[in-house]
Each structure stands twice: as structure tokens, then as C-alpha cells.
Amino acid sequence: MERNHSFQYHPKAFHVFGPRHISSPGWRELISSSWKNESYKRVVMACFVQSAYLLELDRQENRYGLETALAPQWWTPFKYKLVEPLVDERDGSIFAAVLEWDQAAALADFIPIRPTGAPKVVLAIRGTLLKNPTIRRDVEDDLRYLAWESLKGSFRFERLLTALKSIIFNQQGSKNVSITGHSLGAGFALEVYKALAAEGTYVEAHLFNPPSVSLAMSYRILSGKAGFVWKRFKSMLPSNSEFHSKSIAEDAAESTESRITSELKQMLPMPHLYVNTSDYICCYYNYPDGVQNNSFNIGNKEKEVKPGGNALTGVKLFVVSKAKQRFLEAHRLKQWWSDDLELQMALNNSMLISRQLNSLYTIQPPKQTQG
């Protein structure tokens, strides 16, 4: 009894630590699906990532079963169930969770079909846990990203990619699959998203506080500043007729490519990135791609950037619009289900997003998937 009492009032219990004003799915979902609301979807995805953290903490603290484990509290209210925890065989730690729509639980609440917009399967990936059983492998991947701005080559990357391919091709079909993660987990989710997109397969992605700090990125920003000064200097030089005719042809080709790419992006699920400018781990995602006052130079011309996200990639970048915060507060996952969250969509093109994702939409058209 004493153990159950402490479990009910654990600081990470869903009803203590979780979202305050969010309802569980009911029969009304058949009329108006909450999953069509981007705020609702953001909150649920953040809760799924929290469950991935708690799966590992439950393991470390020997909490098993519905009576003592904390992780199930974070997926059951939304009618999902755990299909498979992904385990790092090197240290036995759980670093991700495969969650699936629980049709039996839904039927018990008179929901005969999955609501519109709700994914069949979600792959949720936790970030770094600074505890003895996991700290070595977690920090190892943190340093990998810091050095190379990539998580390819990591054991966990290969495990995640294999798991998601299995889900997509053997079970559900890509349009009903979502991937989400926080911090290091968001870095893995983005890396897996890019690997699949390079093959023409696209999934929905929700990335909270994705890592952006690396040695390569720092160098690139310094180089970009120098390059911007040089371009401004060149724009002041007189242009000859040969350059002018070449510029017109290049602009026409760019316009055609931009139109085709824009049409393709409307057919594909674009990643949702959630960043806080006070979080130095993800702040570079809000660093503009040579943008000044919503425009950027092409030769001697000014090209307007349309508002509503990152025009070059179609990625939805959401930025916390609060005043300056401490790092730990700005990096925490809890902020993404908080009631007082104030978000705004970034209007400028992000240098990091453009570099990482823009080429994906011209590699191959999306594969036809079922589901």
C-alpha cells in the first residue's frame, strides 16, 4: 500500500507532472478529431517522448507493471499501447519506444475507428539521461554530433532506422507513421527522417529541442558572415550584359525548380521543429539563412521570402516567444505541453534547416505506400 501511495504521488506521474487541460479521446472524436489541432498533436507527441524517458527510468528503479510503472500513464490516456521498447544491447538501456493505436482500449470508450489525423504507430525517442547506467552511451552520441553534426554510424541510429523501416514496409504504411524525439532523441529522429526521405519515403516528424550546436556549424556561421559581407560588396560592383543575361536565365530556371519543389512539398509531411531561443543546444535552428528583413540577395536583386515558415524547405519551425530563460528551463521537455506556452512560427529561412533538408525534396518523388 505504501508503495502504491508513493507511486500515485510520484513527481513524474502523469496527473502530477503532465498536461493539465487535455482530454482523453471519446466518441466525439468521430465528429471532430482533436488530432487535427496542431497544439493537441504537439502535446501528445511530447507526452509520448516523456514515456520513452520513463521507460528507462522505470527499468533503472525496478518499477514494473501497471501498478508501479510510470511510463504507461503517458500513453494510455490517448489510447495507445507499447508495442516494443528499443534497447541498446551494449548497456541494456531503453532509448526509444514503438507505440501503436490501441483499438481495444478505444472500443471500450466507444471509439470504433482511429480519429482522423491520429497516427497508427509512433516511434518516440528520448534524449540524454545523465545517470550511471546510460550516461556513457548517451554522451558518446552527444559528442558524435558535436564533432560531426551527424549521428550516422551510431548503433542507435541503425537500430532506429531498421525498426522504422520494418514498421513502414511490413506493417502500417508510411503515411500513418510518426517519429518524435527530444534533444538527442530529436537529433536521431531527424537523422532517420532524412535517411528515409533520401529513399523517397516520408513520415511525419515532431522534433523538440533538436541539437544544432556542433564544431562544423560554428565554423559555418563564421564563414557565412564573411560570405555575406563579400556578396554585399559584389552587389555594388557594375554588372556587364553577359552577366545580366545569365542572371535572367538562372532566375527562370530557379523559378521553375522552386515551383516544382513547392508542389512536391505540399504532398509530403513536413517536419515540425520546436525550439527555444534561450536553449543554446537548439538555438542555431533559428539562425537566419542570409535573411535580412525577410529578403535575401540574388546577384543584384532582392527576392522576397513569403511568411508562414521556412519557404525553402517547407519545414514548420515553432519558436518559444517568452522572455530570456535559463538554459535548463528552456531545454526541458515539459514546456511543450505547458498551458502557458507561447509559440510563433519562424518567418525567416533557417540556415541549418536549409542546409540539412532542402536537397531531400529533389532526390526522388515519394514512394506509394499503403495504409
Q: Are 91 and 15 in contact (CB under 8 A)?
A: no
For the segment 24-44, the average pLDDT, to the nearest whole number, is 87
pTM of the model: 0.80
Among 153, 234, 220, residue whose Cα is nearest residue 188: 153
Ordered structural domains, the chain, with CATH = 14-227+255-285+300-359 (3.40.50)
Alpha-helical (H) ranges within the chain are: 2-8, 14-17, 38-60, 103-108, 135-148, 155-167, 184-197, 215-235, 241-266, 327-331, 351-357
Q: What is the dihedral of CA 104, 106, 108, 113, to 10 degrees?
A: -90
Q: How far apart are CA 96 and CA 185, in angstroms?
A: 8
Question: Does the pLDDT value for residue 222 go beyond 60?
Answer: no
Residue recorded with cell 543546444: 281
Q: Is 168 helix (H, G, I), strand (E, B) or coil?
A: helix
Q: Is 89 helix (H, G, I), strand (E, B) or coil?
A: coil
Residue recorded with cell 491520429: 118
Question: Does the pLDDT value for residue 154 go beyond 90?
Answer: yes
| Helix, strand, coil % in the chain, rounded to nearest 5 | 45, 15, 35
Angle at Cα 105 formed by Cα 67 and Cα 202, nearest 5°?
105
Q: How far apart are CA 268 and CA 270, in angstroms?
A: 6
Question: Does the pLDDT value for residue 181 go beyond 60?
Answer: yes
Question: Does the pLDDT value for residue 366 go beyond 80?
Answer: no
Q: Are 208 and 186 in contact (CB under 8 A)?
A: yes
List all residues 6 or more positions away from 297 whose beta carbon is below 8 Å from its beta carbon. 231, 232, 235, 290, 303
Q: What is the 3-state secondary structure (H, E, C) of 308-356?
A: CCCCCCCCEEEEECCCCCCHHHHHCHHHHHCCCCCEEECCCCEHHHHHH
As a whole number, the mean pLDDT across the chain is: 78
Q: How far apart are CA 140 and CA 54, in angstroms?
A: 21
Higher pLDDT, 324 or 102: 102
**Residues 318-349: pLDDT tens digits?**
888 667 889 999 999 999 999 878 888 875 66
Question: Does the pLDDT value for residue 257 go beyond 70?
Answer: no
